[in-house]
Amino acid sequence: MTMQIKSWEAYQSAYRCSVADPEGFWAEQAKSFVWRKPWSKVLEWEFDTPRVQWFIDGKLNITENCLDRHLPQRAQQPAIIWEPNDPNAPNRVLTYGELYEAVNKTANALKANGIGKGDRVCFYMPMVPELAIGVLACARIGAVHSVVFAGFSAAALADRIKDAACKMVICSDFNNRGAKHIPVKAVVDEALQMGCDSVQTVLVHRNTGDDIAWMPARDKWWHEQVDSQPSECPAEVMDSEDMLFILYTSGSTGKPKGVVHTIGGYMVYTCFTFRNVFQYQEGDIYWCTADIGWITGHSYIVYGPLLAGATTMMFEGVPTWPDPGRFWQIVEKYKVNQFYTAPTAIRALMAHGDEWVEKYDLSSLKVIGSVGEPINEEAWRWYHDKVGRGKAPIVDTWWQTETGGIMISPIPGATDTKPCYASYPMPGIQPVLVDAAGNEIEGNDVEGLLCIKFPWPSILRTTYGDHARCKQTYFAPFPGKYFTGDGARRDAEGRYRIIGRVDDVINVSGHRIGTAEVENAINEHPLVVESAVVGFPHPIKGQGIYAFVIVQGQIADTAQFEQEVRQVVSRVIGPIAKPDYIHIAPGLPKTRSGKIMRRILRKIASGDTENLGDTSTLLNPEVVEALIASAKAAH
């Protein structure tokens, strides 16, 4: 197993060693895994192209490390515990032995359906064990998984299927989530009418048993394909730098990009960070409430925990159904030891009052985690006092889809915690703060743009099909460094506090949404001439979406119009991107070169119009007054 840090001294020494001799440090961690052939060189890199390679020439299969190597000691130990949406329905427990068999059978079924090494397979599924089984089955045979969060629309799904030219889509029939009964296969059917020519097969997992439309030439039942397969499937021997998965994420411009992670480095880093951040001990029950459709689910529900031989939970439902005590009822039921969730969930539950959390026995919790967005002090204190009962340390973990694993976080028992601070970098992570001109800001008690100046094993390798975009987004802004898109502050002792995105990305309930994407969607409405979307502080979601919309002529029924705009966004992207506010605006503040001044729009959307800063470069200053006046009317 990779090293587990247990004291401040051990952290300092590991960190020092990881900076002085990164290759030696990571080689030591990598040695604890099963390799078919060892690497010949640990690292080669330059951030200009960019080109980063870890564990060069190493051959392995990540599923042998997640499954096979655990069988001698853990065949009977639960690998995945699945808690259904309905608290009265039976749960499912898959031991390492059972998960091994399910993955192998599924891998054989994929092969039988023409999927092989390098082929892309898209998943559009709710939180059921088959999703985890399916992605591992891909990894077993060297196919590349591309999981699309099942809340995205058919159009968004089609974009992602086409971008990666997926050969197969795996989905469920329907999904039960809270009180909702959501068609899943129907969305896939709709997406596949949008020119997804690469797709040959749709593999359908029977989840609820509801009736669905069927295309006999294309659609196949999971159980019919999988159940009769042999329970051994030889693991494909893969290269360290072969692709493991693609995961789409939003940026400030254009369509979502497919972030590419490769096998060797991702394996070493997710296991290492899982063991250290959560201080997982033999026999612990670990629960991350994320969806596998996001990177948190990939790294800290599936790969990290299974690599570490942990028991990882999957929850099908939502925090507030059937009541706001659901999370805590589950913690009590399974005696969960590590609990990992998002600030938006904490704030939503906090708003329902303390009675729900006080009703349950949470004494099993040893570490509680936060991820996805900045956690405000009030939520941090509530989480600490009510959920952690003042005893379980909070790990505020900062990282990104692109970083593959946790970058900055406390290590319980080794480093301290401080409200709102992700605190110290993990071993191997070399953060720097720079100013807008790219000059490194040295010393402590300073603020700047957060960059990382040395590669870590799970750094993204490219954006699928567009390496130039990877360079332009992450490596060109500050040559020689990886740019995170976040602003941060470093306190007097060197702890980091993440302030938030400095680009045109909005973080809504921990979901990354590109303003350009929402604008493009809104502009599809026939009466919209132009739109500008910004984030504003939202008490539960962290940030909300505020859309300034310029329309053609007069809108007779504004309520109807707003509803139509929301519907368009829902259709093009998905319900998560629906604007909270739609402001029918008289105009947009623009510079003489025609650029929208978003800085001013952000202030208006936040109701912070006392000091708008420098407006001297505005082409149309009069529009600002009109916007402020109409914004007041809109709120």
For ligand WT7, the binding residues (CB under 6 A) are 249, 294-296, 371-374, 396-401, 422, 484-486, 498, 500-501, 507, 512
Min. distance of Cβ 510 from ligand WT7 in angstroms? 6
Closest CB to ligand WT7 belongs to which residue?
401
Strand partners, 41: 56
Min. distance of Cβ 264 from ligand WT7 in angstroms? 21
Min. distance of Cβ 103 from ligand WT7 in angstroms? 25
Strand partners, 542: 508, 538
Min. distance of Cβ 349 from ligand WT7 in angstroms? 18
How do beta strands 174-177 and 180-183 pair? antiparallel
Of 328 and 482, the one with the shorter C-beta distance to ligand WT7 is 482
Residue with tokens 């966004």: 569
Distance CA 358, CA 361 (A): 8
Distance CA 361, CA 172 (A): 35
Of 108 and 296, the one with the shorter C-beta distance to ligand WT7 is 296
* H/E run at residue 446: strand 446-452
Min. distance of Cβ 535 from ligand WT7 in angstroms? 11
Of 202 and 498, the one with the shorter C-beta distance to ligand WT7 is 498
Of 433 and 498, the one with the shorter C-beta distance to ligand WT7 is 498
Of 422 and 522, the one with the shorter C-beta distance to ligand WT7 is 422
Are 175 and 207 within 8 A, CB to CB? yes
Q: What is the DSSP string of 599-614?
A: HHHHHHHHT--S----
Of 304 and 372, the one with the shorter C-beta distance to ligand WT7 is 372
Of 491 and 530, the one with the shorter C-beta distance to ligand WT7 is 491
Of 115 and 379, the one with the shorter C-beta distance to ligand WT7 is 379
Residues 6+ apart with CB under 8 A from 228: none
Residue 398 token pair: 């900062």
Min. distance of Cβ 250 from ligand WT7 in angstroms? 8
Burial of 105 per CB tally in 10 Å (0-12, 13-18, 19+): buried
Q: Where are the beta strands (DSSP E) in 189-230?
A: 201-205, 219-221
Of 10 and 318, the one with the shorter C-beta distance to ligand WT7 is 318
Closest CA to 125 of 69, 54, 55, 208: 208
Residue with tokens 């399974």: 334
Half-sphere CA count of 607, side-chain side, radius 13 A? 7
What's the full length of the chain, in residues?
Answer: 635
Min. distance of Cβ 252 from ligand WT7 in angstroms? 12
Half-sphere CA count of 88, side-chain side, radius 13 A? 1
Of 203 and 277, the one with the shorter C-beta distance to ligand WT7 is 277
Are 231 and 196 within 8 A, CB to CB? no
At residue 500, the 3 state secondary structure works out as strand
Region class of 509: left (phi > 0), else alpha (psi between -120 and 50), else beta: left
Q: Helical H runs in 37-115?
A: 62-66, 71-74, 96-112
The 8-class DSSP code of residue 553 comes to S
Distance CA 318, CA 448 (A): 36
Min. distance of Cβ 32 from ligand WT7 in angstroms? 25
Min. distance of Cβ 370 from ligand WT7 in angstroms? 6
Min. distance of Cβ 301 from ligand WT7 in angstroms? 12
Min. distance of Cβ 270 from ligand WT7 in angstroms? 12
Of 307 and 394, the one with the shorter C-beta distance to ligand WT7 is 394
Spacing of C-alpha 349 from chain mean position: 21
